[in-house]
């Protein structure tokens, strides 16, 4: 008897929190297919007629096509740069011995402890003086620098844990250091690299303050920032606003569901090594 | 003369040897170091310098004023108000998601739970959303006219409680906190689930033999074994709590009547809206200091835990 009540309580709690997590997202997705008056009448009701035109209108008139394009043009180079630079540096810190390596590594780690705000003001004026504020580089370059501390930390830990014998054998065969890295060590780093890709992708995709400061020109806005201005402009057109939210959330939720294992593994590795 | 040349030659060969030993390492870190130096280290020192000047962002001249900005900060009641909000944010925004995450993790982890992966997937979903989306979604929930919260209160007969949730200075900070907790408890849950994988089951059997009930097992066996993961996540959440910006800026911009003003939103306003660049830089240094203190406490705790 006691066991049964325990089970009931357990599943009740689990289901309540699942509903709390899901309801706001699902209601937003439903609202994207409703007219404003329908939303106003009952936000919880299923749509009666599917108003696909909300999504179409957000995509074209709401500039979401452009926002999405900008986001990809920012995210892909940033992730590529962070991953390749972090692999190189992480390998050096994890496997090579050189004077001052500990001190330089520590300087990179300090980047994990200070907030973006500590650099945003001079960066803004520096990028302005370099005439970069009118291009996507104004975000790609600082975002790469900000991603490096975590990337290097992750890759250093990974390479450090690999056995040295493999590399030594290749060195005896006359392989130079770069080829040892490229042909022997890097191919083993798949799991750590995929974790880094997932995290860096999510951070760059979701970034808000950095594009708010550096990419404020309308044609440069990435999706998160674009959504904010969009929702400010269409405050009374609820269906259209919900369509904007849906276009922003769906790609990320889909990527999350496909790459769930990488998400969880990345978090887990970070937590247990910590 | 002869001795001199020998010395020189010796020095040269040792330099060559040094270069040979260190060349590879430095070549590998060089690309990362260049980007990091230009776009992180240099502006960091730039902030320290700006915090010692009076500048409006436009004038060609920056006037050096020493520690004046820091003195102004100590006398700025709005700064203290923001800091107070940050402390509330750090306490509630750390405790609530960690407690929820821990309870759900233990429930999911307990024997024979069905649908474990499905629940985990659902709980983590809000975590992947951008703060802008979280802010807009919860802005809808709280909306006085068509918001879900007022409608839900109507349905259960508590319609007299309905209001403009974000417009009430006494409630706004807590309302934003709820949205932040919603988007974060799944993160804590996943970390705890990972930590529970390495818990030693023998200890539970021993506790059961000693007659401990589920609650006693939880407090005396589960929590101590998770202490390492707990310190990690508390520190991480606290550091984040001092820097929180996005969700608050989107939902309330610090208002109404500064009731949700935080150090980060205040720094942004001073630097980019009021153009007190020097003072904004000083505020950003205060934020940095708070994050560093939280980080150092965390590192000390971890050392203690490992010793």
The interface predicted TM-score of the complex, written ipTM, equals 0.89
In this complex, is the C-beta atom of B293 within 8 Å of any C-beta atom belonging to chain A? no
Indicate which of A85, A103, A117, A178 best probes the interface with B, i.e. most B CBs within 10 Å of its own CB: A117
Tell me which chain A residues have a C-beta less than 8 angstroms from the C-beta of B245.
117, 208-209
pLDDT beyond 60 at B149: yes
Instruction: Extract the tokens encoding B204.
Output: 């539970």
The mean per-residue pLDDT over the stretch B166-182 comes to 95
Q: How far apart are the first and last CA of chain A?
A: 42
% of chain B surpassing 90 pLDDT: 53
In this complex, is the C-beta atom of A209 within 8 Å of any C-beta atom belonging to chain B? yes
Q: What is the pLDDT at residue B4?
A: 61
* Residue A5 or residue A270, greater confidence: A5
Residues 222-281 of B with CB under 8 A from A: 228-229, 232-233, 239, 242-243, 245-246, 249-250, 264, 267-268, 271-272, 277, 280-281
The DSSP-derived string for A243-254 is HHHHHHHHHHHH
Give the pLDDT band (50/70/90) at residue A194.
Answer: confident
Q: What is the pLDDT at residue B3?
A: 60
In this complex, is the C-beta atom of A252 within 8 Å of any C-beta atom belonging to chain B? yes
Nearest to B241, CA basis, from B79, B134, B136, B85: B85
Q: What is the pLDDT at residue A274?
A: 41
Nearest-neighbour CA in chain B from A120: distance (Å) = 8
The mean per-residue pLDDT over the stretch B66-93 comes to 95
CB contact under 8 A, A123 and B39: yes
Q: Residue B223 CB: number of other CB atoms within 10 A?
A: 13
Indicate which of A115, A229, A239, A259 best probes the interface with B, i.e. most B CBs within 10 Å of its own CB: A115
Q: What is the pLDDT at residue A50?
A: 82
Q: What is the pLDDT at residue B195?
A: 85
Q: What is the pLDDT at residue B306?
A: 60
Give the pLDDT band (50/70/90) at residue B162.
Answer: confident
A vs B, Cβ pairs < 8 A, gives 261
pLDDT tens digits for A136-147?
A: 999 999 999 999
Q: What is the pLDDT at residue B304?
A: 74
% of chain B surpassing 70 pLDDT: 95
The mean per-residue pLDDT over the stretch A88-100 comes to 92
Residue in A115, A120, A208 closest to B132 by CB: A208
Instruction: Extract the tokens encoding B13.
Output: 């060969």
Q: Which of A95-104, A239-248, B177-186 has the highest mean pLDDT?
A: B177-186
pLDDT tens digits for B230-247?
A: 888 888 888 889 999 999
Q: What is the pLDDT at residue A191?
A: 82
CB contact under 8 A, A43 and B146: yes
CA dist list (Å): B276 to A253, B23, B242, B267: 40, 45, 21, 10
Nearest-neighbour CA in chain B from A180: distance (Å) = 11
How big is the CA angle at A82 (ends A78 and A87), to the nearest 5 degrees? 155
Nearest to A265, CA basis, from A184, A190, A203, A160: A190
Indicate which of A20, A83, A87, A114 best probes the interface with B, i.e. most B CBs within 10 Å of its own CB: A114
Nearest-neighbour CA in chain B from A262: distance (Å) = 13
Give the nearest chain A residue to B181 (CA atoms). Answer: A21
For residue B284, give every residue at least 6 positions away whose Cβ sits within 8 Å of its Cβ, in sequence order, or none: A115, A117, A118, A120, A121, B47, B51, B267, B271
pLDDT beyond 80 at A119: yes
Cβ atoms of B241 and B86 within 8 Å: the answer is yes
Rounded-to-integer distance, Cα A166 and Cα A212, Å: 47
pLDDT beyond 60 at A72: yes
Q: What is the pLDDT at residue A260?
A: 83
Indicate which of A7, A17, A23, A86 best probes the interface with B, i.e. most B CBs within 10 Å of its own CB: A17
Residues A6-15, buried b or exposed e (16+ Cβ, 10 A)? eeeeeeeebe
pLDDT beyond 60 at A272: no
CB contact under 8 A, B132 and A81: no
The mean per-residue pLDDT over the stretch A113-133 comes to 93
Q: What is the pLDDT at residue B227?
A: 82
pLDDT beyond 70 at B223: yes
CB contact under 8 A, B47 and A118: yes
Rounded-to-integer distance, Cα B230 and Cα A272, Å: 11
Residue in A22, A40, A88 closest to B32 by CB: A88
In this complex, is the C-beta atom of A106 within 8 Å of any C-beta atom belonging to chain B? no
Rounded-to-integer distance, Cα A10 and Cα A138, Å: 50
Residue in A27, A92, A252 closest to B28 by CB: A92
Tell me which chain A residues have a C-beta less than 8 angstroms from the C-beta of B131.
206, 208, 224
Q: What is the pLDDT at residue B9?
A: 63
% of chain A surpassing 90 pLDDT: 41
- For residue B256, say if its preceding peptide bond is cis, omega within 30 degrees of 0: yes
Look at B131-140, B158-167, B266-275 and tell me which has the smallest mean pLDDT: B158-167
Nearest-neighbour CA in chain A from B281: distance (Å) = 7
Rounded-to-integer distance, Cα B288 and Cα A123, Å: 16
Q: What is the pLDDT at residue B219?
A: 81
Tell me which chain A residues have a C-beta less than 8 angstroms from the C-beta of B146.
39-40, 43, 238
Nearest-neighbour CA in chain A from B225: distance (Å) = 12
CB contact under 8 A, A116 and B243: yes
Q: What is the pLDDT at residue B245?
A: 95
Nearest-neighbour CA in chain B from A224: distance (Å) = 6
Q: What is the pLDDT at residue B218?
A: 80
Q: What is the pLDDT at residue B305?
A: 66
Residue in B21, B44, B100 closest to A118 by CB: B44
Nearest-neighbour CA in chain B from A167: distance (Å) = 14
% of chain A surpassing 70 pLDDT: 96
Tell me which chain B residues have a C-beta less than 8 angstroms from the C-beta of A208.
130-132, 245-246, 249-250
Tell me which chain A residues have a C-beta less than 8 angstroms from the C-beta of B124.
256, 263
pLDDT beyond 60 at B165: yes
pTM assigned to the model: 0.89
In this complex, is the C-beta atom of A135 within 8 Å of any C-beta atom belonging to chain B? no
Residues 192-211 of B with CB under 8 A from A: 194-195, 198
Q: What are phi and psi of B194, to 5 degrees?
A: -65, -45
Q: What is the pLDDT at residue B307?
A: 53
Tell me which chain A residues have a C-beta less than 8 angstroms from the C-beta of B287.
115, 117-118
Q: What is the pLDDT at residue B280?
A: 96
The mean per-residue pLDDT over the stretch A189-197 comes to 86
């Amino acid at each position: 008897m006691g066991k049964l009540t325990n089970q009931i309580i357990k599943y009740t709690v689990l289901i309540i929190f699942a509903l709390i997590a899901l309801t706001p997202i699902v209601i937003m997705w439903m609202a994207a297919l409703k007219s404003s008056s329908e939303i106003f009448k009952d936000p919880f009701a299923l749509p009666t007629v599917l108003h696909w035109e909300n999504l179409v209108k957000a995509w074209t008139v709401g500039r979401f096509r452009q926002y999405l394009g900008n986001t990809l043009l920012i995210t892909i180079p940033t992730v590529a740069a962070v991953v390749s630079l972090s692999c190189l540096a992480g390998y050096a810190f994890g496997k090579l011995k050189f004077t001052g390596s500990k001190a330089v590594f520590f300087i990179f780690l300090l980047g994990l402890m200070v907030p973006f705000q500590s650099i945003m003001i001079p960066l803004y004026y520096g990028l302005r003086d370099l005439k970069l504020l009118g291009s996507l580089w104004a975000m790609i370059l600082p975002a790469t620098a900000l991603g490096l501390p975590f990337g290097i930390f992750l890759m250093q830990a990974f390479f450090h844990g690999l056995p040295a014998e493999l590399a030594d054998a290749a060195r005896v065969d006359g392989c130079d250091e770069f080829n040892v890295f490229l042909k022997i060590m890097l191919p083993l780093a798949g799991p750590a690299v995929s974790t880094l890709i997932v995290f860096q992708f999510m951070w760059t995709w979701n970034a808000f303050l950095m594009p708010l400061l550096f990419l404020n020109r309308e044609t440069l806005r990435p999706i998160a920032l674009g959504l904010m201005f969009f929702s400010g402009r269409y405050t009374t057109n609820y269906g259209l606003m919900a369509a904007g939210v849906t276009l922003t959330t769906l790609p990320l939720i889909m990527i999350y569901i496909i790459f769930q294992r990488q998400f969880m593994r990345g978090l887990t590795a970070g937590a247990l090594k910590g | 003369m002869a001795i001199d040349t020998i010395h020189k030659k010796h020095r040269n060969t040792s330099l060559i040897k040094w270069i040979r030993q260190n060349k590879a390492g430095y070549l590998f870190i060089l690309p990362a170091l260049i980007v990091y130096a230009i776009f992180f280290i240099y502006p960091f020192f730039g902030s320290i310098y700006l915090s010692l000047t009076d500048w409006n962002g436009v004038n060609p001249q920056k006037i050096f004023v020493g520690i004046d900005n820091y003195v102004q900060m100590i006398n700025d009641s709005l700064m203290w108000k923001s800091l107070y909000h940050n402390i509330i944010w750090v306490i509630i925004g750390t405790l609530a998601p960690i407690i929820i995450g821990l309870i759900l993790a233990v429930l999911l982890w307990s024997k024979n739970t069905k649908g474990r992966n499905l629940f985990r997937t659902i709980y983590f979903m809000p975590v992947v959303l951008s703060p802008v989306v979280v802010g807009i979604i919860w802005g809808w929930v709280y909306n006085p006219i068509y918001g879900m919260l007022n409608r839900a209160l109507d349905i259960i007969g508590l319609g007299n409680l309905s209001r403009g949730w974000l417009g009430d200075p006494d409630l706004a900070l807590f309302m934003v906190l709820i949205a932040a907790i919603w988007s974060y408890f799944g993160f804590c849950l996943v970390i705890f689930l990972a930590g529970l994988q390495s818990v030693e089951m023998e200890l539970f059997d021993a506790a059961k033999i000693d007659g401990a009930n589920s609650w006693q097992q939880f407090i005396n066996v589960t929590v101590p074994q998770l202490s390492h993961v707990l310190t990690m996540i508390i520190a991480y959440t606290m550091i984040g709590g001092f820097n929180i910006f996005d969700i608050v800026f989107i939902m309330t911009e610090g208002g109404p009547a500064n009731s949700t003003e935080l150090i980060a939103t205040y720094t942004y306003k001073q630097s980019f809206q009021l153009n007190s660049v020097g003072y904004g830089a000083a505020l950003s240094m205060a934020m940095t200091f708070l994050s560093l203190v939280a980080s150092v406490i965390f590192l000390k705790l971890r050392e203690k835990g490992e010793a």
